[in-house]
Structure 1
Amino acid sequence: MLRRLVQSEAPPTAPLSIVDRLAGSPYANPMIQAGGVDASARQTLDLSLELAETMFRYGAGALEVEASIIAVTAAFGLRDVEVDITNQSVVINYAKPDAVPVTVMRVVRSWTSNYAGLSQVHQLVTDIVRGHADRTEARQRLKSITRRPKPYARWMAMTASAAFAGTIVAFIGGSVAASLVAVFTSVLVELASRTLGKWRIPDFFTTAAASCLVTFLALAFWQLSVPLSPAIVIAGGIIMLLPTGRLVSAVQDAINGFPVTAAGRFLSAFLTFGALVAGISVGLVAGSLVGIGVPDVLDPGQGAYPVMVQAVLVMLATALVCITEQTRPAMILPTALVALLGFVMYSLVQAGGLGNRLSPAVAAVFIGFAARLVALKMGSPQLVVAVPALLFLLPGFAIFRAMYILTVHPDDPTTGLFGLFSALTVILAMAGGAVLGDNLARPLTRGWGSNEGRRNRRR
């Protein structure tokens, strides 16, 4: 009896089955579809690779891509599978005992904003796990997803991005004139970015040019006596340029055990952040060279609107981001309501004296929690709801303020560097809070979209 109490039931070094990685995911306990396992192994591996590539291109995290591969291969009868994901490459190895192993690899070299497509791929994987789609149907549906036009035309996404800039400027305290200037500036930035993209200019220089243009135009309109605060206009203009989705995915990958992928995403995000910083610096210097005086450029504007007006602006800004990121129409209102919940929690913790650094992180936890519940209920991954709902928390004003001090007042570099570090800390805390909320919601969503509870599975 004593021996049974102290001895474990299994050796502590026994390896876990790869299918156990699905525990807690929407694809737990997949239905095994009968017939042709070994003869069609290569077809299953190719389908899994195509799914993984599409998910990566549309912005999914490494954990969700890995879970999808494991779920699809298990559903089609392949159990002896290993998956390795490193930044932008996916490797799948199928090594059945006493058989020649098969290894396939795919490298993802392009990315695009298409949350609607990501939701459709998520639903396709769910249908495969439930046994509602065989291999032939799954391949046809995936091909249809990749060839289907995005939900909104390019001009509509550009208009939504410009309207978002004006809305977020109003949210952080800008005047009507400041919002109009932000809309105009955003349109010019979008046109310039598309032109540079056609010329195959790297994203780093495109982002730097965009932030430089936003900064210079804000200073120019201020010099022309337009009633606005340049800092507010610049802060609103650079929020869409911040790599929020990449940072959330990077933090999620780091926490979930994908260090190489997380390192690659962090490097890409920090390069984008560096491009923003460089562009703002060049814009400030260019403004000084053409004679634009900047002694009061850090004027905070007319002050915040009433809380009810801010809440409406948050919902409107989130809806506009959803259009920009090509979210399917049915997800827009739920995402805006999740952002409203985050704003309410942010206002409450701010009123409780938690401070400007911790308040966004706490609000991000609630956003990440609610985003998982809403997204899985509507057949989408958590990222599709969380990223648009987080944007209103980004410290755009703090980033510009720090760059202004470093550029215009180089005799006080410590204050500027501390401001940059503080802004970056807030962004990382927001990303970590969203991931924490996602994990806290996992117990409540266990079995959603999976076959847990079914007893008529074929194995």
Structure 2
Amino acid sequence: MASGVERVLGERRATADAVVEAPAPLQPIDLTDDATVTQVLDLAERVGEVVLASGTAVTDTTDQVEFIASTYGLSQCDIDVTYNSIRISADRGPTLPPASTMRVVRQRSLDFTRLAAADRLTRRIRRELVPPEEALAALDEITSAPHPYNRWIATFGWALMAAAVALLLNGGLLIAALSFATTTLIDRTNRRLNRRGLPFFFQHMVGGMIAALPAVLVSSYFSHLHLDPALIIAAGIAVLLAGLQLVGAVEDAITGAPITAAARMLEVVMMTGGIIAGITLTLRAAELLNLTVPSVDMAPGRDLTNWPMKLLAGALTSLAFALACYAEKRALAAAAFSGAAATIFYLLVQQAGFGPIVSSGAAATVVGLAGGLLARRALTPPLVVAVAGITPLLPGLRVYRGLYALLNDEQLIGINQLFSAFAVGCALAAGVTLGEWIARDLRRPRIVKRFGSIRRPRMSSQ
């Protein structure tokens, strides 16, 4: 008979933030059967591939892989997760050689519905002890299923996010409308280029060119409207950098995964460099055509001016990001609440006299807490709520400003902005981690009383 822990977890469909210690499996596999052991390791690695491809941190991915392997009796496993690979070595006892396998993560896709489905499959495996072949078939259905929304819905999500970012940065409705149209063009163009196999660096370059073009046209022909064209570029940059793992890179560095942290940080730098190249090419072409070149020195004012609009914009930014990443409908409200909370806490802490680093950390702590508490009600992994929640804080803009300054012979400003970007990334990662810990700690008396001890995340072997 299943234990009370498993029965309650099954009824509530708890998410991956409350992994409990694995009891002895009810029907452990035959460790002498190489085929069955290979099936279990393949299942664990493929689930790990889904969560890692969605931006999950190394330690959480390791926990997920270990959770599945231990369910079938492979409790003594050495697991090594890096940026694009998962390796498992399972100890089968003193009389059998260890079983080892490796899987390379070739594609990364921000599909939060697939992430949530893989998480529910993990819970079902523990609750029902699903045979490995049946679990693999279920995972095949998850990974081969089409996106839950039409691609035009995802495009609408990215465009809505750009419009919300423009409002968040004190832009008016006209700037928001221009940002919406510009981002729609960027997304549809990059989708076509992606189908043709163009590397992401050049896709971001094209995105930067498209983002800068409306700014040039507004400066040259519609200057009488007194619009700030830099906000159009800022909104486009925020969307292009939204899926990159600046905060994830810092979180991996904090939790002891330096190899993956370095790889993710390099990805952020390279993709930002592509955006800068595209913007620079457009501005240089405008100069040759004797058009007015807008300033791109973005230092957006983040204060409590018109705070109801900014609160709404923060909620829309997070909701739109979750929608663009194919989050389940029930997760959208949780993402919007998290974004609104992050926005208002950031503005309040900054209004109290603290700088952007402390303000970002305080807002991220609220996001992590919301992710830990709301995700259980929304039946979705906390990562979805946390990643969407920090989106209105716009961590990628500082990386852009730093690299842009360096490429324009403003070394002091560039280095200052890059260090500031790293510090903000540290504050965001630390805040989210602390908030999730607080959420677990708030639930611990109830969980320990009913379920037993909680397993703490295991450090990566990197």
Q: What is the correspondence of 1:418-437 to structure 2 with a 5 Å cutoff? A: 418-437=416-435
* Pair 1:33 & 2:26 matched: yes
1:190 partner amino acid:
D
Residues of 2 paired with 1:299 and 1:375: CA distance?
34
Aligned CA distance change for structure 1 residues 299 and 271 (closer, same or farther; 3 Å):
closer
Q: Is the 1:62–1:85 Cα contact (8 Å) retained in structure 2?
A: yes
2:292 corresponding residue in structure 1 = 293
Residues of 1 paired with 2:85 and 2:157: CA distance?
33
Return the index of the structure with the highest Cα Rg. 1
Residues of 2 paired with 1:258 and 1:302: CA distance?
35
Residues of 2 paired with 1:444 and 1:116: CA distance?
27
2:4 corresponding residue in structure 1 = none
1:206 partner amino acid:
Q
Residues of 1 paired with 2:272 and 2:71: CA distance?
41
2:186 corresponding residue in structure 1 = 189
Q: Is the 1:44–1:73 Cα contact (8 Å) retained in structure 2?
A: yes
1:331 is paired with a residue whose SS is helix
| Pick aligned residue for 1:150 from 147, 150, 171 | 147
2:55 is paired with a residue whose SS is coil
* Pair 1:167 & 2:159 matched: no
C-alpha offsets along residues 187-234 of structure 1, whole Å, 9 cap, x if unaligned?
221122122212311111211221122023212222111632111111
Q: Is the 1:376–1:448 Cα contact (8 Å) retained in structure 2?
A: no
| Pick aligned residue for 1:54 from 47, 50, 54 | 50
| Pick aligned residue for 2:91 from 90, 95, 102 | 95
Residues of 2 paired with 1:204 and 1:217: CA distance?
21
Moved more, 302-311 or 344-353: 302-311
1:149 is paired with a residue whose SS is coil
Residues of 1 paired with 2:180 and 2:27: CA distance?
56
Aligned CA distance change for structure 1 residues 89 and 405 (closer, same or farther; 3 Å):
closer
1:20 corresponding residue in structure 2 = none
Residues of 2 paired with 1:138 and 1:346: CA distance?
43
Residues of 2 paired with 1:356 and 1:166: CA distance?
23
Q: What is the correspondence of 1:253-292 to structure 2 with a 5 Å cutoff? A: 253-292=252-291
1:235 corresponding residue in structure 2 = 234
1:440 corresponding residue in structure 2 = 438
2:284 partner amino acid:
V
* Pair 1:343 & 2:340 matched: no
1:212 corresponding residue in structure 2 = 209
Structure 1: segments with no counterpart, 5+ residues = 1-23
Q: CA deviation at 1:297?
A: 6.2
Q: CA deviation at 1:332?
A: 0.4
1:74 partner amino acid:
S
* Pair 1:123 & 2:120 matched: yes
Moved more, 417-426 or 49-58: 417-426
Aligned CA distance change for structure 1 residues 111 and 296 (closer, same or farther; 3 Å):
closer
Q: What is the correspondence of 1:344-383 to structure 2 with a 5 Å cutoff? A: 344-383=344-383
Q: Is the 1:37–1:76 Cα contact (8 Å) retained in structure 2?
A: no
1:453 corresponding residue in structure 2 = 451
Q: Is the 2:403–2:418 Cα contact (8 Å) retained in structure 1?
A: yes
Q: Is the 2:318–2:338 Cα contact (8 Å) retained in structure 1?
A: no
1:44 corresponding residue in structure 2 = 40
Q: Is the 1:27–1:450 Cα contact (8 Å) retained in structure 2?
A: no
1:119 partner amino acid:
A
Aligned CA distance change for structure 1 residues 279 and 194 (closer, same or farther; 3 Å):
same
* Pair 1:391 & 2:391 matched: yes
Q: Is the 1:91–1:103 Cα contact (8 Å) retained in structure 2?
A: yes
Percent identity over the alignment is 28
Q: CA deviation at 1:74?
A: 0.9
Residues of 2 paired with 1:79 and 1:95: CA distance?
8
2:120 partner amino acid:
Q
1:120 partner amino acid:
A
Aligned residue-pair number: 430
Aligned CA distance change for structure 1 residues 296 and 250 (closer, same or farther; 3 Å):
closer
Residues of 2 paired with 1:429 and 1:269: CA distance?
17
Q: Is the 2:251–2:426 Cα contact (8 Å) retained in structure 1?
A: no
Q: CA deviation at 1:57?
A: 2.5
Q: Is the 2:242–2:391 Cα contact (8 Å) retained in structure 1?
A: no
1:11 corresponding residue in structure 2 = none
C-alpha offsets along residues 71-119 of structure 1, whole Å, 9 cap, x if unaligned?
1111111123221112211111122221122111111111112011101
Scaled by the length of structure 2, the TM-score of the pair is: 0.84
Aligned CA distance change for structure 1 residues 422 and 286 (closer, same or farther; 3 Å):
farther
Aligned CA distance change for structure 1 residues 296 and 42 (closer, same or farther; 3 Å):
closer
C-alpha offsets along residues 308-347 of structure 1, whole Å, 9 cap, x if unaligned?
1221222122211111011100000011111111122112
Residues of 2 paired with 1:340 and 1:423: CA distance?
22
Q: Is the 2:166–2:175 Cα contact (8 Å) retained in structure 1?
A: yes
Residues of 2 paired with 1:78 and 1:303: CA distance?
51
Moved more, 168-177 or 191-200: 191-200
